[in-house]
Amino acid sequence: MGLSISMNVNDHLLKSHAQGKSFEKRILDVRLEEKESLMYYSPSKAHQLFFRVTAASPQLVGSIRSFIEGGIRLQVPEGFGAASGQHITLPNTAYEANIPFVLRFMVDAEVTGCCWVKGVAGSIYWVCLHMRVLPAAAKKGRYVVRLPSLRESRCQEEVDVHYADIEALPLQGDFQSLPPLRMLSFDIECVKAVGQGFPEAQEDPVIQISSIVEEQRREKANKDKSSSAASASDATDQPLCRVIFALNECAPIAGAWVFWFEDEAEMLVKWAEFVREVDPDFLTGYNCINFDLCYLLTRAAAIKAEGVSSLSRLKAFESRISDTRFSSRALGTHDNKEIPVEGRVQFDVLELVRRDHKLKSYSLNFVSSEFLKEQKEDVHYSMIGDLFRGSPTTRRRIAVYCLKDALLPLRLLNKLLFLFNYVEMSRVTGTPLTYLLTRGQQIKVTSQLLRKCRQLHYVVPSVKRVGGDRDDKYEGATVLEPLKGFYNMPISTLDFASLYPSIMMAHNICYSTLVTHTTSSPRHTFVKASVRRGVLPMIVEELIAARKVAKAEMSKAEDKFMKSVLNGRQLALKITANSVYGYTGATVGGQLPCLEVATSITCFGRDMIEYTKRRVEELYTKANGYEHNAVVVYGDTDSVMIRFGTTSIEEAMKLGREAANKISGEFIRPIKLEFEKVYCPFLLMNKKRYAGLLYTNPTHYDKIDSKGIETVRRDFSMLVQIMVDTVLKKMLIDKDVENAKAYTRNKIAELLQNKIDLSLLVQTKSLGKLDYDTKLPHVELAKKLRKRDPGTAPNVGDRISYVVVQGSKGQAQYERAEDPLYVLENNLPIDTQHYLETLKGPLMRIFEGVMNDPESLFTGLHTLKKTVTVSSQGAMAKFIKKGVQCVGCRVTITEGALCKHCQSKEGEIAAAKASEVQALEREHNALWTECQRCQGSMLQDVICINRDCPIFYRRAKVKKEVEVLQETLHRLHLSNDW
């Protein structure tokens, strides 16, 4: 029968699949295997026969699946009793037909990502960073080491080995460490050859390429204790080399090799040779794939620079650029370039930060400030041209700037432990490292599910993925109605440990334990573990157990490098265990959604929260001998917050632990309720919105912990975040509500008087697409920026920074969103009323719990004085005539500088204004000096336009204020040497 199926499928491929014609045999093997479908429990379907079809190429699998799902009709051959000779139609369900080929190989070979593997007889070891199927020169039971003349790659050794002879080594001892991985970080600078605008690769040259090479390695055993205590992130302080490839002569740079060329094509070719010679395992940078590498390859093709696209470890492979769009609910939509460089992992730090951190901006400036606590010089592309056309010294300045942009990604990689965390996630989930960088979250669970099913002889059905906006809704977690208010007493918090994984284990919830048809209640029924253990419970149980082992090993490890590896592993295990539930509920784009599983898990979770609330309030009462009646003031998903009534933090902790132990015993194991923390004081504003001073020990607080309020929301301006954060500190730490009110009134007055730095008013939004049903401020601004300069316009997936300016009466807000730098350059007036409204909601929610009339903070004498900037732009500007005011008292006068009442105090007023100018000059000089330190030279002019740096806006604002005061002094017939 297998032969008959093979012939049917072969005939179909020969007729309908063009690629099938290039293979002598398209179907290599069809065999009967005894398996069981993962979906549903039914005793009658155990140990069914399945046809396993092996194709000659992964490109044929899609057509084979379509053919199977269309129905295969064949004649039963002799030897099958009464059925012999009959025509039958096979079931039209395909299993495991949508598995990426590399993952398919790794599952079948029992190899995980980034693990050490052993060849025949234990004589060869590799780290499985990259997977590639070698030619079939090797036969099972032996391997072949290729002669140098026969090698296809630039690797030091090439070995042909049968896949069945590859053995993954356990992550223990030396085999859980990493090899000395070499990383190359690069950045380019380019310049517009003719005219204005952003450079384009077809026309405009690459003028410099910076490259910094470092090696991730374990610290040497002979280092002393103090040096071994240094973080692994210090590796970039001593890179293997720093190199600049420059077009035209460039002055030397201390600590770097400078190679300059008179021909651009030669420079590009030499850089490509450098990459091949260095032979890095990782290529990194900041936006290095979508811009730097894309520009280099496009430019090399335009000027016919040979060999630049041959950057991979395969000699015959040339990198090609293709457009891709990545979209997921968690990460949004991003337009990307895909440039395969076989044998080298592309570790773009921009994409890593986007995946793992929610920030207001993802520019290198902002990210460096956030995590490294330092700013970087940002030179406008139009200024790069002037520096390039200058002298070797000015080109040296570009080179220093370019080197910094290659160094920062390496420092971020090490600071944020990206390498360790992603390698360990690859190991834990069995997923290729590159899949973690280019795919969504589900591939990690798919990998684990396939491996466990292979062990247990299950097969996973191939489900057609549903795209678009459709989503089958189901009831999620319980959020108890909050008892809103300001609690100036301890609030104990109890949390369920690994809630959803523990529910799966306790109730044996899985695809494989779900009973297909039942009339009983509840509607979804799962068999007990004594009947059949579920696959998902086994997976999460193993992950949780492995995490305990990793944490125990981490606590014992003395080697800092190994601590980083183990910390990355335990974090990966935690994230992976918690993501299994989400996998079952992903109805849009899901690999294997099953709402019966997802709804059952959340249903148990809701019951547990409500049960915990009821039991706490039943147990902890005066009737049971306690001093107060306990009240659950709030509950959300996996935690409850309890007011025991005591004023002692220590007592609240004691009662919390007692309650957790008592109630945990009433749940099925391994469900466990744990005492987590105490808040005191605690501000409960609404569902998903609260803040409190967090204590994990009674002697001193840990931090202010907040959820859902504007200190942690990135779409609000920094002004909102700073004010909310300061108000919370005054209320929670200082316990001074009146001071919080006074601070709020002062800041509102400063806002209305135009005294707030522009940098604090910038808002950011992610650009999901350019066309929406309704007009949005950041989308309309993106369209304006595209018209002004297409080369630097934001793309889909970028975060757009904007401020809201004043407009004509009735003008919509989306028309008044403007680029902050454009506002500064054109002196556009800020819409202070808009920013007052954005402050009002967050602050009102905070103060409602502590005052009767929070509205009074936004009215009164402090809101009467307003200052409005007069714009030099717009249709009305030419009709506005600037009035003359007295320099002293600001009354309107017809001529001169002072009114008759102030003329007698002319000297005093002039001295005061001169003093103001001097104070502003000192401030400007201090800001200028700070910028010079940042750019690395105290002798050169500051040309930085870093929009994510608050100093940039302060410097521009102070300069304008000085100019206004100088004009005032000029009116008083005084001079100043500004």
Tens-place pLDDT, residues 943-959: 777 777 777 778 877 88
**Do 66 and 209 have their domain in common?**
no
- For residues 520 and 597, membership in a common domain is answered with yes
CA distances from 542 to 263, 505, 549, 570, 781 (A): 59, 11, 11, 12, 50
Domain span including residue 195: 187-219+229-415
- The CATH number of residue 855's host domain is 1.10.132.60
CA atoms within 13 A on the CB side of 405: 25
Report the CATH number that the domain containing residue 519 is assigned in CATH: 3.90.1600.10
For the chain, give the mean pLDDT.
83
Q: Which of 176, 206, 238 is the last residue of a domain?
A: 176
Write the DSSP string, 158-209.
-EEE-GGG-EEPPS-GGGGSPP-EEEEEEEEEE--SSSSSS--TTTS-EEEE
- Segment 172-190, tens digit of pLDDT: 888 888 888 999 999 999 9
Average pLDDT over residues 868-875: 58
Strand 181-190 relative to strand 282-285, pairing: parallel
Assign 974 a pLDDT band (cuts: 50, 70, 90). very low
CB atoms < 10 A from the CB of 31, how many?
A: 11
| pLDDT, position 896 | 79
Q: Looking at the structure, do residues 610 and 678 belong to the same domain, yes or no?
A: yes
pLDDT score recorded for residue 666: 94
CA distances from 560 to 68, 417, 427, 918 (A): 54, 12, 20, 51
Query: Residue range 643-662: average pLDDT?
Result: 95
- The percentage of the chain sitting over the pLDDT mark of 70, rounded to a whole number, equals 84
262 and 293 fall within a common domain:
yes
Spatial distance between the Cα atoms of 546 and 567, rounded to a whole number of angstroms: 12
Task: Write down which residue in 44, 76, 97 finishes a domain.
Answer: 97
Amino acid at 180: P
Closest CA to 294 of 319, 264, 324: 319
Confidence (pLDDT) at 164: 82
In a domain, 265, yes or no: yes
Residue type (1 letter), 174: D
Establish if 362 belongs to a structural domain: yes
Tell me the CB-side half-sphere exposure of residue 223, using CA atoms within 13 A.
12
d(CA 524, CA 521): 8
Query: How far does CA 114 lie from the centroid of its chain?
Result: 22
Detail the DSSP E strand segments found in 248-355.
Answer: 257-261, 282-285, 322-328, 332-338, 345-348
Specify the amino acid at residue 487.
Y
Whole-number Cα distances in Å, 613 to 437, 479, 608, 619, 675: 42, 12, 9, 10, 14
C-alpha span between 41 and 526 (Å, rounded): 8
Positive/negative CA dihedral, 140, 142, 143, 149: negative
The tally of CA atoms less than 13 A away on the side-chain side of residue 741 is: 15
> Hey, which bits of 339-453 come out as E strands?
345-348
- pLDDT at residue 467 tops 90: no
Per the document, the length of the chain is 978
Residue 691 and residue 705: Cα distance in Å, rounded? 6
Q: Which amino acid is at 376?
A: K
pLDDT in tens, 538-597: 999 999 998 898 888 888 887 777 888 888 888 888 888 888 988 888 777 678 888 889
Distance CA 932, CA 927 (A): 9
Other beta carbons within 10 Å of 703: 11
Whether residue 703 is contained in a domain is answered as: yes
Q: Helix 349-356 crosses helix 392-415 at what angle (to 10 degrees)?
A: 40
User: CA gyration radius for the chain?
Assistant: 33
Residue 286: partners with Cβ closer than 8 Å, 6 or more residues away: 187, 348, 349, 350, 364, 405, 408, 409
**Is residue 495 domain-shared with residue 392, that is, in the same domain?**
no
| Residue 266 maps to a domain | yes
Q: Tell me the pLDDT band of 728, cut-offs 50, 70 and 90.
A: very high
Indicate the pLDDT class of residue 975, thresholds 50, 70 and 90.
very low
Burial string for 177-202 (b: 16+ CB within 10 Å, else e) reads ebbebbbbbbbbbbbbeeeeeebbbe
pLDDT of residue 772: 67
Same domain for 538 and 569: yes
Sequence-ordered strand ranges (E) for 396-440:
none
- 726 pLDDT more than 60: yes
Task: For residues 197 and 152, state if they share a domain.
Answer: no
Q: What is the DSSP letter of 220?
A: P
The answer to whether residue 267 sits within a structural domain is yes
User: What whole-number distance in Å separates Cα of residue 429 and Cα of residue 418?
Assistant: 16
Q: Are 92 and 106 part of one and the same domain?
A: no
In this predicted structure, which of 115-129, 252-266, 508-522, 812-826 has the lowest mean pLDDT?
115-129
Tell me the per-residue pLDDT of 423-461, one tens digit each, with 9 for 90 and over: 988 998 999 999 988 887 889 999 999 999 999 999 999
Long-range Cβ pairs for the range 567-572 (8 Å, 24+): 567/417, 567/420, 568/417, 568/420, 568/421, 568/422, 568/423, 568/424, 568/425, 569/171, 569/424, 569/427, 569/428, 571/421, 571/424, 572/421, 572/424, 572/425, 572/427, 572/428, 572/429
* Residues 621, 539 share a domain: yes
Domain final residue pick, 707, 740, 757:
707
Tens digit of each residue's pLDDT (9 = 90 or more) over 903-953: 888 888 888 888 888 888 888 888 888 877 777 776 677 777 777 777 777
Is residue 437 domain-resident? no
223: confidence class by pLDDT, cuts 50, 70, 90: very low
CB 366 within 8 Å of CB 412: no
- The total of structural domains in the chain comes to 6
Whole-number Cα distances in Å, 237 to 159, 234, 241, 355: 36, 6, 11, 26
Give mean pLDDT, residues 395-409. 94
Read off the pLDDT band of 869 (50, 70, 90).
low
107 and 93 both lie in a single domain: no
CATH number at residue 253: 3.30.420.10
For residue 423, tell me if it sits in a domain.
no
Question: 49 and 111: one domain?
Answer: no
Question: pLDDT by residue (tens digit) across 610-621?
Answer: 999 999 999 999
Residues 136 and 211 in one domain: no
Report d(CA 165, CA 812) in Å as an integer: 68
CA 652 to chain centre: 37
Q: Is the pLDDT confidence value at 1 over 60?
A: no
Confidence of residue 865 (pLDDT cuts 50, 70, 90): confident
Within a domain: 749: yes
3-state secondary structure of 552: helix
